[in-house]
């Protein structure tokens, strides 16, 4: 899986790599494997049929999806596995994976899901850019008319617009339907053809919306002139920073919010789907009556500190991230190729242990010396076959690791003395930091040390003039034995040692024309090493230490933990702790501070930017390994760890690495009291309310705070690709207008932020429904007063 490395300000010696307009983006790879067997290697996928179809929700598309797999000579590749990845809410495919026939073609049938709109499926082959299919899912036949609001309260003389929609059995709106409105109590309330109700007299009025023989009725309670929008519901005025989750009713979640006399009150409503599958779509209808637009600044928090920091990331344009898509396929392939070998590997380790574990016995460890020669497989795509052996030379030996350098590396690289300095940093900084947070690595190495292989093979992974840099990777195949017990299947191409692969300096651009200075590579690799060491620890402990564990963590959680490792590195280098609520003045103001943040701290902020600007379509546990997913899971893990108190942060991280389960099940088991859904809800509150303003922050309960970072201070001072400072904390919000319902669709883990105010001395009614009924229990929500 690729780890994005995004810089704050390019060092004077670094070349600026542009992607998607004005984005300086760097990437480092971590792991991946291709389950390919003998024969031609696939290099391309071509869509043959089935793209851009149109169908009715819940039905199978008439034309099967088919792709052609080609090799480098543009010839069909037979007998290759193709995986079909279905987007959230996009339905199902059968089969979920297929093997190419003699003509190199694989097929599947796509049955649309229940959500109307543009839906997606991608065909994936190891090491090849995916082939994306889209389709248009149309609503089904009319099944019901749904009117909004569910109920209302007016004073004599007040008006309210009733809005109605014709919907199919799955709750999708069907456009172009003629809807008529009528009043069953015309002496109490009248209604226009467009749905505008006028309250005429006190009483209980009933308004009907009808279309095609289907109807819905809205009861309206009418009180004296000047009556509030809440009717008999008791209004609730929240204190600054107070958080409130309304109690569900029988058919809706309804609450009445008020503002004190003399001052309007700004509120935020946060929503999050806690469905554990990102593919589960939850639709919610939000309606406010009697409220006003938010009065306070939605995004900007006053910050007198002069912006000094440049955060290189995509701003105002999407990141076209081909390497991420490729790495996700590789990561999937790694699990597919190695999972069948897990039992044999564990038996192999058990036999070694029973025999006294000779590799761990000091007398039996192979003592390496500087200058010793090793041959190492550097194939980054294929796990257990097609070894790409490179000649290595031992350049430096440390307490915890040994550096081996490819003898074919470009000139102008590190000296042995410089490699020794790198190892000293690993031994005294990175290794103790990562092991304290995540646990000790396994030890299968015949050398008793971790191997850091500096090889031009990593440089070769980045094409010429690419908008990214692949800086290194860890491959779990190296933890598997070459030969298992009793002749059972094993991983013949394994290096059979704890190791990872790293970028090397190339000041002359010998490899693919990409020039790499020593300073640039040193800075990049320190982050890479911290990141990859977490992967190595996680994989090794799951395979050989916690032997009852599922052997491979989900990509999003494994990556999130490695991004935490990067954060720990930044704090360790700068001497910070995790509870200082660091702001812009802490990370900037001097060249040294800015350079350090650019090198070690900025990457997570750029990833989180991708998430927070589009939270309704991204999530911390989306199975796509995107920038937004990585940013979301980093921030959620930081929030969850911080909530435990300073003494217990590492315990949460270590528990996630040492769990027997993976993914959301792992999080559910590790978070205290099985409060996964509560943590997600409270995290949404923290994202919008923490550090909003001094008075709000002072009153906010600890459960809604993130003690490590003051994001509202930092983001306004960040610049993107040399442009102007953001000037804002870029959280995407919706403004709620009175009487205008909003329909929001959320994938599992996705969230939405809605802002509104209540005028001074007034009250407003708010309701949440799903297609006229109570939202599912997996939808969690909270209201917080911001000002």
Q: What is the pLDDT of residue 14?
A: 26
Give 77-109 pLDDT, tens digit per residue: 999 889 898 887 889 999 998 999 999 999 999
Give 340-357 pLDDT, tens digit per residue: 999 999 999 888 877 655
Give the Å distances, CA to CA, from 307 to 468, 570, 584, 728: 26, 20, 8, 11
Q: What is the pLDDT of residue 193?
A: 96
Residues above pLDDT 70, as percent of the chain: 89
CB 265 within 8 A of CB 294: no
Tell me which of 160-169, 286-295, 317-326, 573-582 is least confident.
317-326
Q: What is the pLDDT of residue 297?
A: 59
Give 620-644 pLDDT, tens digit per residue: 999 888 899 999 999 999 999 999 9
Q: What is the pLDDT of residue 332?
A: 67
**Residue 38 above 50 pLDDT?**
no
**Residue 143 above 60 pLDDT?**
yes
> Containing H/E element for 217?
strand 214-223
Identical fold for domains 42-125 and 157-226, yes or no, is yes
**Residue 9 above 70 pLDDT?**
no
Transcribe 385-443 into DSSP letters: SS--EEEEEEEEE-SSEEEEEETTPPSS---HHHHHHHHHHIIIIIHHHHHHHH-PPP-
Please report which confidence band the pLDDT of residue 4 belongs to, taking 50, 70 and 90 as the band edges: very low
Give 178-235 pLDDT, tens digit per residue: 999 999 999 999 999 999 999 999 999 999 999 999 999 999 999 999 898 999 999 9
Give 242-255 pLDDT, tens digit per residue: 999 999 999 999 99
Please report which confidence band the pLDDT of residue 295 belongs to, taking 50, 70 and 90 as the band edges: confident
Q: Determine the average pLDDT of the residues in 739-754.
A: 95
CB 566 within 8 A of CB 608: no
Please report which confidence band the pLDDT of residue 335 belongs to, taking 50, 70 and 90 as the band edges: confident
Tell me which of 109-113, 163-167, 470-474 is least confident.
470-474
CATH T-level fold of 157-226: Immunoglobulin-like (2.60.40)
Q: What is the pLDDT of residue 625?
A: 80
Q: With 0-12 CB in 10 A as exposed, 13-18 as middle and 19+ as buried, what is 194?
A: exposed
Q: Is the dihedral of CA 12, 18, 24, 28 positive or negative?
A: negative
**Residue 361 above 50 pLDDT?**
no
Q: What is the pLDDT of residue 356?
A: 58
Q: Determine the average pLDDT of the residues in 300-320.
A: 36
**Residue 322 above 80 pLDDT?**
no
CB atoms within 10 A of CB 186: 11
Q: What is the pLDDT of residue 324?
A: 54
**Residue 303 above 60 pLDDT?**
no
Domain ranges across the chain: 42-125, 157-226
Q: Is the dihedral of CA 691, 697, 701, 702 positive or negative?
A: positive
Q: What is the pLDDT of residue 87?
A: 83
| Mean pLDDT taken over the chain | 88
CB 474 within 8 A of CB 484: no
CB 459 within 8 A of CB 512: yes
CB 265 within 8 A of CB 755: no
Q: Is 625 helix (H, G, I), strand (E, B) or coil?
A: coil
Q: What is the pLDDT of residue 620?
A: 97
CB 172 within 8 A of CB 140: yes
Give the Å distances, CA to CA, from 787 to 93, 697, 716: 48, 10, 20
Q: What is the pLDDT of residue 283?
A: 93
Q: What is the pLDDT of residue 767?
A: 96
β pairing state of 163-167 and 144-148: antiparallel
Which one has a higher pLDDT value, 9 or 717?
717
Phi and psi (nearest 5°) for 456?
-65, -15
Tell me which of 189-198, 292-301, 385-394 is least confident.
292-301
**Residue 546 above 70 pLDDT?**
yes
Q: What is the pLDDT of residue 373?
A: 97
Q: What is the pLDDT of residue 336?
A: 77
Give 438-457 pLDDT, tens digit per residue: 999 999 999 999 999 999 99
Q: What is the pLDDT of residue 36?
A: 32
Q: By C-alpha distance, which of 231, 257, 232, 233 is closest to 244?
A: 257
CB 126 within 8 A of CB 329: yes
Q: Which CATH architecture has domain 42-125?
A: Sandwich (2.60)
Q: Nearest 5 degrees, angle CA 460-CA 27-CA 409?
A: 30
**Residue 44 above 60 pLDDT?**
yes
Task: Please give the radius of gyration of the chain, using alpha carbons only, rounded to the nearest integer.
Answer: 29
Please report which confidence band the pLDDT of residue 12 belongs to, taking 50, 70 and 90 as the band edges: very low
Tell me which of 134-148, 282-296, 302-316 is least confident.
302-316
**Residue 5 above 60 pLDDT?**
no
Compute the residue count for the chain.
787
Give 476-529 pLDDT, tens digit per residue: 999 999 988 776 779 999 999 999 999 999 999 999 999 999 999 999 999 999
Highest mean pLDDT among 464-468, 564-568, 720-724: 564-568
Please report which confidence band the pLDDT of residue 320 belongs to, taking 50, 70 and 90 as the band edges: very low
Q: What is the pLDDT of residue 674?
A: 80
Give the C-alpha separation, 284 to 779, whole Å.
Answer: 8
Which one has a higher pLDDT value, 571 or 262?
571
Q: What is the pLDDT of residue 330?
A: 58
Q: Determine the average pLDDT of the residues in 24-36.
A: 34
């Amino acid at each position: 899986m690729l780890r994005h490395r995004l810089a704050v300000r390019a060092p004077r010696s670094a070349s600026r790599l542009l992607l998607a307009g004005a984005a300086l983006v760097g990437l480092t790879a971590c792991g991946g494997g291709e389950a390919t067997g003998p024969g031609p290697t696939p290099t391309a996928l071509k869509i043959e049929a089935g793209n851009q179809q149109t169908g009715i929700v819940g039905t199978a598309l008439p034309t099967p999806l088919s792709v052609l797999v080609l090799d480098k000579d543009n010839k069909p590749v037979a007998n290759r596995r193709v995986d079909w990845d279905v987007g959230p809410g996009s339905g199902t495919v059968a089969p979920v994976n297929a093997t190419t026939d003699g003509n190199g073609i694989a097929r599947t049938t796509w049955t649309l899901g229940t959500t109307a709109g543009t839906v997606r499926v991608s065909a994936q082959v190891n090491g090849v850019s995916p082939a994306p299919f889209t389709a248009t899912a149309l609503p089904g036949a009319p099944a019901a008319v749904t009117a909004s609001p569910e109920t209302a309260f007016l004073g004599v003389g007040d008006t309210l617009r009733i809005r109605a929609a014709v919907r199919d059995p799955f709750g999708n709106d069907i456009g172009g339907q003629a809807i008529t409105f009528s009043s069953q109590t015309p002496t109490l309330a009248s209604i226009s053809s467009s749905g505008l109700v006028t309250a005429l007299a006190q009483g209980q009025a009933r308004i009907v919306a009808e279309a095609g023989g289907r109807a819905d009725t809205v009861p309206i309670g009418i009180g004296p002139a000047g009556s509030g929008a809440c009717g008999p519901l008791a209004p609730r005025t929240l204190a600054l920073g107070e958080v409130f989750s309304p109690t569900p009713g029988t058919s809706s979640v309804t609450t009445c919010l008020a503002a004190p006399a003399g001052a309007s009150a700004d509120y935020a409503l946060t929503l999050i789907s806690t469905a554990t599958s990102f593919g589960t779509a939850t639709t919610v209808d939000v309606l406010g009556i009697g409220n006003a637009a938010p009065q306070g600044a939605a995004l900007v928090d006053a910050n007198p500190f002069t912006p000094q920091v440049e955060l290189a990331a995509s701003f105002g344009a999407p990141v076209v991230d081909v390497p991420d898509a490729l790495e996700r396929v590789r990561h999937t392939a790694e699990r597919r190729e190695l999972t069948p070998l897990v039992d044999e590997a564990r038996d192999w380790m058990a036999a070694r242990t029973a025999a006294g574990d000779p590799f761990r016995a000091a007398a039996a460890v192979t003592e390496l010396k500087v200058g010793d020669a090793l041959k190492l497989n550097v194939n980054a795509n294929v796990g257990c076959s097609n070894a790409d052996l490179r000649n290595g030379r031992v350049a430096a030996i440390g307490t915890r690791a040994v550096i081996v350098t490819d003898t074919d590396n470009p000139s102008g690289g590190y000296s042995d003395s410089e490699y020794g300095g790198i190892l000293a940093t690993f031994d005294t900084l990175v290794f103790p930091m990562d092991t304290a947070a995540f646990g000790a690595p396994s030890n299968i190495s015949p050398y008793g040390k971790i191997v850091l292989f500096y090889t031009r093979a990593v440089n070769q992974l980045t094409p010429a003039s690419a908008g990214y840099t692949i800086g290194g990777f860890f491959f779990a195949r190296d933890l598997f034995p070459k030969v298992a017990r009793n002749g059972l299947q094993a991983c013949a191409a394994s290096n059979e040692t704890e190791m990872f692969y790293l970028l090397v300096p190339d000041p002359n651009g010998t490899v693919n024309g990409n020039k790499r200075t020593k300073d640039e590579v040193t800075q990049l690799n320190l982050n890479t090493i911290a990141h990859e060491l977490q992967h190595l620890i996680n994989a090794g402990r799951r395979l050989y230490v916690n032997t009852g564990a599922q052997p491979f963590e989900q990509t999003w959680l494994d990556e999130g933990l490695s991004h935490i490792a990067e954060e720990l590195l930044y704090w360790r280098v700068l001497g910070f702790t995790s509870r200082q609520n660091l702001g812009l003045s802490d990370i900037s103001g001097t060249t040294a501070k800015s350079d350090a943040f650019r090198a070690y701290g900025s990457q997570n902020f750029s990833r989180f930017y991708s998430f927070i600007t589009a939270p309704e379509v991204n999530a911390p546990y989306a199975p796509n390994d995107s920038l937004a997913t990585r940013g979301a899971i980093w921030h959620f893990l930081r929030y969850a760890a911080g909530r435990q108190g300073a003494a217990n942060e590492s315990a949460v991280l270590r528990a996630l690495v040492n769990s027997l389960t993976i993914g959301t099940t792992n999080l559910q088991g590790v978070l205290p009291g099985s409060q996964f859904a509560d943590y997600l809800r409270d995290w949404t509150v923290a994202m919008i309310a923490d550090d909003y303003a001094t008075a709000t922050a002072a009153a906010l309960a600890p459960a809604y705070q993130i003690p490590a970072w003051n994001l509202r201070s930092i983001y306004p001072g960040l610049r993107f690709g040399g442009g102007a400072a953001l000037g804002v904390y870029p959280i995407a919000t919706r403004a709620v207008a009175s009487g205008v319902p909003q329909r929001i669709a959320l994938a599992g883990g996705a969230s939405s932020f809605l802002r509104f105010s209540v005028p001074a001395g007034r009250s407003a009614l708010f309701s949440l429904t799903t297609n006229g009924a109570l939202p599912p229990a997996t939808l969690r929500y909270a209201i917080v007063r911001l000002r």
